[in-house]
């Protein structure tokens, strides 16, 4: 169900309005509304399309799922696709949001109220309560006890608040990913994982998916920093620069995690190589020990007529003792050289 989250009249004072009042309400010079639409009900957005002059292609894009983050500039409005991140079921979930931004309105399109904009909604509504019911007078004298007309919120500032809230939500997710990468490194070092290769590959896939999602968002924010974007006042550009700086920082963290995963893969291969070398070395040592005994057994197995030990009463015990002595000597030698 579409909801009017905030509405300010031409004097910058909060007023609760219905949808049927919007045409006359928005005729005021400084009137402003934020409308939140559920993408599961496309007829709601279609109903707003003609009223606000929304482009048909942008409306179709807003109703589609998992679109690439982008920004589209029109003569008197802009349309953005962006994403919010959250943790659910021990994994990262991405929720898309479409945002129409005009001079007097912002329309957000979400599914199941995700990504969450509740902190922004509460903050704006709390601010509305401060001015609710206060009727301004345009002609007042200082000290008459009447509050002057309040400047209404601009769509650019509300857009900044939304994007800042979404990007700030990335930090807990990225920190969780960093913890998971460190845990994976500890598991690989301790050799506790039954499938370390799959664990590493799964994490690399996560990071690659997030990188594909966030790289276009950098382009979106970079576009907002240009001076020729409609609706975006020059005084708001430093705020968008801050959001851009945040997403660059998050991108750097993601790159560091990818490098750390590459290091984990190299470490894992090195540990596996060391284990293989130890196994081969142990097998080689046992082979050499058995070769000594086999040599002695082979000598006494030769068919010579004149072999003194064959007629000797202690010949058989002597041969066994000789095998044991050779094997023990080799065993002690290998242990001394840490082949075991």
- Does the pTM surpass 0.85? The reply is no
pLDDT at 129: 60
Tell me how far apart the alpha carbons of residues 172 and 91 are, in angstroms, rounded to a whole number.
12
Which CATH class for the 1-151 domain? alpha beta
Does the bond joining 115 to the residue before it have cis omega, within 30 degrees of 0? yes
Output the CA–CA distances (angstroms, integers) from residue 160 to 47, 232, 288, 326, in the order listed: 26, 10, 74, 81
Segment-wise mean pLDDT, segments of 10 residues, the chain, 340 residues: 78 78 84 90 87 91 90 92 93 94 93 90 70 43 39 81 94 94 85 70 90 93 86 89 95 92 82 77 80 77 66 76 82 75
Instruction: Enter the tokens of residue 292.
Output: 């000594």
Tell me how far apart the alpha carbons of residues 251 and 105 are, in angstroms, rounded to a whole number.
31
Tell me how far apart the alpha carbons of residues 61 and 82 are, in angstroms, rounded to a whole number.
12
Tell me how far apart the alpha carbons of residues 85 and 317 are, in angstroms, rounded to a whole number.
77
**Are 210 and 167 spatial neighbours (Cβ–Cβ below 8 Å)?**
no
Q: b/e map of 301-330 (b: 16 or more CB within 10 Å)?
A: eeeeeeeeeeeeeeeeeebeebbeebbeeb
Say which residues have a Cβ less than 8 Å from residue 36's Cβ, sequence separation at least 6.
Answer: 2, 3, 4, 5, 107, 108, 110, 117
């Amino acid at each position: 169900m579409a909801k009017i989250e905030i509405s300010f009249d031409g004097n910058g004072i909060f007023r609760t309005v219905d949808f049927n009042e919007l045409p006359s309400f928005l005729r005021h010079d400084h009137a402003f509304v934020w409308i939140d639409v559920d993408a599961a009900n496309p007829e709601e957005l279609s109903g707003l399309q003609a009223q606000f002059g929304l482009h048909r292609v942008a409306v179709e894009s807003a109703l589609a799922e998992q679109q690439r983050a982008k920004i589209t500039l029109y003569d008197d409005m802009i349309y953005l696709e962006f994403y919010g991140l959250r943790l659910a079921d021990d994994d990262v979930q991405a929720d898309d949001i479409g945002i129409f931004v005009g001079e007097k309105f912002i329309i957000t399109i979400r599914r199941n109220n995700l990504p969450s904009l509740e902190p922004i909604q509460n903050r704006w509504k709390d601010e509305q309560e401060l001015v609710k019911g206060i009727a301004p007078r345009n002609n007042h004298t200082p000290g008459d006890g009447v509050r002057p007309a309040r400047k209404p919120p601009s769509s650019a500032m509300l857009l900044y608040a939304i994007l800042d809230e979404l990007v700030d939500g990335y930090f807990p997710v990225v920190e969780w990913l960093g913890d998971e990468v460190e845990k994976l490194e500890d598991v690989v070092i301790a050799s506790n994982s039954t499938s370390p290769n799959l664990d590493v590959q799964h994490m690399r896939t996560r990071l690659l998916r997030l990188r594909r999602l966030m790289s276009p968002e950098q382009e979106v924010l970079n576009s907002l920093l240009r001076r020729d974007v409609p609706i975006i006042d020059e005084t708001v550009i430093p705020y968008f620069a801050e959001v851009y700086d945040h997403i660059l920082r998050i991108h750097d963290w993601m790159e560091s995690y990818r490098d750390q995963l590459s290091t984990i893969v190299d470490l894992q291969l090195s540990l596996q190589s060391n284990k293989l070398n130890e196994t081969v070395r142990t097998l080689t040592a046992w082979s050499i020990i058995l070769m000594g005994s086999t040599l002695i057994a082979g000598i006494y197995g030769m068919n010579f007529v004149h072999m003194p030990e064959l007629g000797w009463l202690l010949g058989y015990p002597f041969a066994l003792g000789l095998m044991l002595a050779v094997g023990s000597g080799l065993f002690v030698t290998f242990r001394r050289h840490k082949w075991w």
